[in-house]
Amino acid sequence: MLDEGGKKSRGQLDNTPEAIEVWAAELAQRWGGRPVALALEQSRGAVITVLSKYAHLVLFPVHPTSLANYRKTFSPSGAKCDPVDGDLILDYLVKHPEQLRCLRPDTVETRSLQFLTEERRKLVDAHTAALQSLIHWLKQVFPQILRWFDNPAAPLVADLLMRWPTLQELQKSSPKTLRKFFHQHNCRSEDRTEERLEQLRQAVPATHDPALLRAGTLSIQNATRILACMRQGIAEFDR
């Protein structure tokens, strides 16, 4: 920290909302509510979120690359040290303010759209990973599913796999039970249902290895549960 007389001071602050609240109030009181320039080596994250709510704190993010190059001016090795970095960031703010841009958050609507879009993308990526895991294990122990259904992540397939995670278990079910299952899942084509039942009768297990079947059953059902939750989450983000 640099006071009006140019005197520099150091301190440590716990990264908690309560500690930051007290610290921000002390700054407001010390400087009579006037704006206080605050430079830090990030432009997003939890710290920025907390600090942004204080009107008297004017935030100036310092790009890590800019700071790294500035650090090499004084330390050719580029070695980092928190107290020294704090001094460097302060020095950079005081001596090169033209190189920094004050953080001015976008509107609530714009930031909401940004956050929602980013989190939805993360969920879609996780959904893709879970689907790949499901396909991997289906190829190992129940590859027929990938031929009988176009989308292994569809609710119809999910319900089927939760009830019959292996071919052996599915073949134990009666045709009447399976017809009822498909009918309850809006499979109205009798020809398509009969075709699937015939394919089921002729199907041969890909493996009889109990170790593989045990791991495959758990993995298939876990992936199925995860995909169902993620589909719901993605739909909520879309809304």
pLDDT tens digits, 169-215: 999 999 999 999 999 999 888 899 999 999 999 999 999 999 999 99
For residue 94 the two structure tokens come to 């005081």
What is the pTM for the complete model shown? 0.65
pLDDT per residue over 16-63, tens digit each? Answer: 888 889 989 998 898 888 888 888 877 677 888 888 888 888 888 887
Compute the distance between CA of residue 101 and CA of residue 23 in angstroms, rounded to an integer.
24
Taking alpha carbons only, the member of 238, 142, 156 closest to residue 199 is 142
Burial class (CB in 10 A: 0-12, 13-18, 19+), 152: buried
Whole-Å CA distances, 85 to 45, 53, 70, 71, 140: 19, 25, 10, 8, 53
> Are residues 60 and 38 in contact, defined by beta-carbon separation less than 8 angstroms?
yes
Banded pLDDT at 6 (limits 50, 70, 90)? low
Would you list the domain boundaries of the chain? 17-99, 108-238
Calculate the CA dihedral of residues 122, 128, 134, 136 and round it to 10 degrees. -120
Where residue 80 falls among pLDDT bands split at 50, 70, 90?
A: low
Candidates 3.30.450, 1.10.12, 1.10.287, 2.40.10; CATH matching 108-238: 1.10.287
Under 8 Å between Cβ of 98 and 25: no
Question: In this predicted model, what pLDDT tens digit does every residue of 101-139 receive, in sequence order?
Answer: 777 777 788 888 988 999 999 999 999 999 999 999 999
